[in-house]
């Protein structure tokens, strides 16, 4: 997801400006995979369904930009073809692992009345589990919805969700600004962001493009202490 187009380039130049904007943010949006949680949800689901290698390879291609996000998602899910039962069992048997420090950071943001949102190209059923652990309201989640037939078999995904598109995260942030009247929304993620997160996976491209690159949530907590 590329949200860099939301601010003019000169507004995202200096580290001190980015830190200042983070401290003054009305809302903070987190990516989920490899950021709020340690793993990539779709890869974990694929492994659980016995098609891990094929899907990991396709994830790598998707991140390299050789296909649109929606195409990559469609193709990966057509390999996985998970049932509702498999998804529920994955969440029960292998719940997503929270990244150290995220709970404390979200608590601190909530204490300061900063709204927290989870915006993910992953699956709502997994993200809801994460949100519940972090006391983030479920209506603050934007993610893709898996669809199942009445017998629980895989039936596709909801293609109308903005998170199913390349650049969908940017659309969600614009929508949030409009809906809530937020002036400053900061996004923290491992793929492409104003604040890049490398605590679980280091992506050189993110490191180069982020105005502020952190490898632990403690660095963000420390910044909030300056208010």
Active centre residues (catalytic): 31, 33
The tokens describing 86, both together, are: 């498999």
Specify the 3-state DSSP secondary structure of 98: strand
The tokens describing 56, both together, are: 């990991």
Determine the straight-line distance between the first and last CA of the chain, rounded to whole angstroms.
30
The CA-CA-CA angle for residues 147, 53, 97, to 5°, reads 65
Work out the widest C-alpha separation in the chain, in whole angstroms.
Answer: 54
């Amino acid at each position: 997801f590329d949200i860099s187009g939301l601010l003019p380039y000169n507004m995202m130049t200096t580290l001190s400006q980015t830190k200042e904007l983070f401290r003054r943010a009305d809302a903070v949006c987190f990516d989920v995979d490899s950021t709020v949680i340690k793993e990539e949800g779709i890869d974990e689901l694929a492994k659980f369904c016995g098609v891990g290698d094929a899907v990991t390879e396709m994830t790598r291609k998707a991140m390299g930009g050789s296909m649109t996000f929606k195409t990559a998602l469609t193709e990966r899910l057509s390999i996985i073809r998970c049932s509702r039962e498999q998804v529920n069992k994955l969440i029960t048997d292998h719940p997503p692992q929270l990244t150290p420090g995220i709970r404390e950071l979200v608590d601190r943001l909530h204490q300061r009345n900063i709204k927290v949102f989870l915006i993910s190209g992953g699956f709502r059923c997994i993200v809801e589990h994460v949100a519940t652990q972090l006391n983030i309201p479920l209506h603050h989640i934007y993610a893709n919805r898996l669809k199942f037939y009445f017998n629980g078999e895989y039936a596709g995904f909801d293609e109308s969700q903005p998170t199913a598109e390349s650049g969908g995260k940017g659309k969600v942030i614009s929508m949030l600004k409009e809906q809530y009247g937020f002036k400053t929304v900061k996004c923290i993620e491992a793929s492409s962001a104003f604040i890049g997160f490398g605590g679980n996976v280091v992506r050189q491209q993110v490191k180069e493009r982020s105005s502020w690159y952190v490898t632990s949530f403690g660095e963000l907590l420390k910044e909030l202490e300056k208010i």
